Amino acid sequence: MKKLLSLVLIAGIGFGANAQDKKFQVGLVLGPTFNWTKIQTTKIERNGIGNGFTIGVGGNYMFNDNIGLASGIQFDLESFKINYGSATNLALPDVYYAYTDTDIQRYDEKDGKVKDFTDTTAFNLYERKYRAKYVTIPLFLKFQTNMIGQFKYYGKFGMRTSILAGARADDTGYDAFYNSTDGSFTQTSLSPRVQENMKPVSLKKDLALIRTGIGIYGGAEWNFTGSTFLYGELGFNYGITPSISQTSATLVEKTETGTAGVYDYKSLDIKNNPQHIIEFKIGLLF
């Protein structure tokens, strides 16, 4: 991390030194984020407010003194919780998965079985804490005032797009049995427990690979020395694309048919549940 910060600062100073007209500025940015999933299905529940941290490089290219583009590249660490089962909300379905150690196995809905899996280890999922890593590329139009004393003030509007770089999950639920002959799942324990650092073996990590939101930000820049600015900004990003995979590659929904004791199994489908993000950032521009 120290090497990363050093390289970013050196690059920022270098770019700033070459941009004598100050149309182009670049520097380090970091800060906390807060997220919540907008639930648009009866099959899952949001569990509280998630949080995260972002660090990266941010910069501006100004067309004139007041209008320009703001962009950069950020590395985001985020976490949030989703309820897949509940002892009080009976509308939530029974959700299962098969696993080996920390690997969650892929479910093939066409065959009605877990793909290439003959073991019996399974889990009845109730609560999941997602821990995700994203590479984020913001692209905003920036509107700023002229200098007012040592400060200038600005607003930004545009898109915040994140690409999933990795994901792990801490799962709370109950031990279960998987029958590889008929593809059925059965809960075997009445005592909940936690499974940490679980990860799907499929390409789909139960999180959307690309997540996009529309953002609006406001902030101020302080010219505290020479051509160097310290800034702080607060923004809201309205999610428009799914944050969680709409159809899971690993989670299995168990529903009872019209015949008592007879069940259907299918991949969990939760439709589109976007994520909204509040982001506070501080940074330097050179």
pTM across the whole model: 0.89
CB 208 within 8 A of CB 165: no
Give the bridge partners for 114, in sequence order: 107
How high is the pLDDT of residue 236?
Answer: 98
CB 175 within 8 A of CB 193: yes
DSSP string, 174-190: EEEEEETTTTEEEE--S
Predicted confidence pLDDT, tens digits, the chain (286 residues): 444 444 444 444 444 444 335 789 999 999 999 999 999 999 999 999 999 999 999 999 999 999 999 999 999 999 999 999 988 888 899 999 999 999 999 999 999 999 999 999 999 999 999 999 999 999 999 999 999 999 999 999 999 999 999 999 999 999 999 999 999 999 999 999 999 999 999 887 899 999 999 999 999 999 999 889 999 999 999 999 999 999 999 999 999 988 888 999 999 999 999 999 999 999 999 9
Can you give the CATH number for the domain in which 119 is found? Answer: 2.40.160.20
Element spanning 43, H or E: none
d(CA 235, CA 278): 6
How high is the pLDDT of residue 3?
Answer: 47
Provide the number of structural domains found in the chain.
1
**DSSP single-letter state for residue 207:** B
- Both tokens of 48, joined, read 């509280």
How high is the pLDDT of residue 91?
Answer: 85
Of 131, 132, 114, 115, the closest CA to residue 123 belongs to 114
Give the bridge partners for 270, in sequence order: none
Count of beta carbons in the 10 Å neighbourhood of residue 264? 10
How high is the pLDDT of residue 17?
Answer: 41
**Dihedral of CA 22/28/29/31: which sign?**
negative
Q: Name the H helices within the chain.
A: 2-18
How high is the pLDDT of residue 270?
Answer: 95
| Residue span of the structural domain in which 99 resides | 2-285
